[in-house]
Amino acid sequence: MVLNIRLMTPDGVYWDKPVDQIILPTTTGPIGILSGHASLITALEIGVLRYQKDKDWSAILTLGGGAIIKEDNVTILVSGVEEVVKDDTKAREAEAMLTEATEALAKAETLREKIAASQNFKRANIRVEIHKFLESQ
């Protein structure tokens, strides 16, 4: 059986496709969804959304939002997404961005700077995590 996934951003439907399973980055930790899952509404964190189709895993970075699971339909509403592809150069760039984000977070002084630096750090850290995940596939 399959799950019907609809991923939406403020710009509209990002993709709409069937998958075998999905792992959502909820605010309380990752949650796996298979066909037949109980109905659920959950908040999503900036994180890695993983999905499997025909035994192949893929991952994208989501920028927070929410998800509704009902009768093998998963509707995901997020602020934005970033596709990450398996690429050694991009992986090194992600590592460099994480280093810069870590330094910026340490230097942030005002509340506004700390919030912005924290969000940038989360995105950079997730990019690195996705590249490691893709390398393991």
Q: What is the pLDDT of residues 74-121, one digit of tens each?
A: 999 999 998 777 777 878 888 898 899 999 989 999 999 999 999 889
26 pLDDT above the threshold of 90 = yes
Average confidence (pLDDT) over 21-48? 94
Q: What is the pLDDT of residue 36?
A: 92
Beta bridge partners of 25: 30
Q: What are the distances in angstroms from CA 50 to CA 56, 58, 79, 110, 137?
A: 10, 6, 17, 34, 12
- C-alpha to C-alpha distances, 49 to 30, 52, 63, 97, 124, nearest whole angstrom: 9, 10, 10, 20, 15
The mean pLDDT of 34-40, rounded to a whole number, is 94
Give the lowest-confidence range in 8-17, 32-41, 54-63, 80-89: 80-89
3-class DSSP state for residue 86? Answer: coil
Q: Taking the alpha carbons of 80, 72, 85, 88 in that order, is the dihedral positive or negative?
A: positive
| Mean predicted confidence (pLDDT) in 48-71 | 91
pLDDT value at position 33?
A: 95
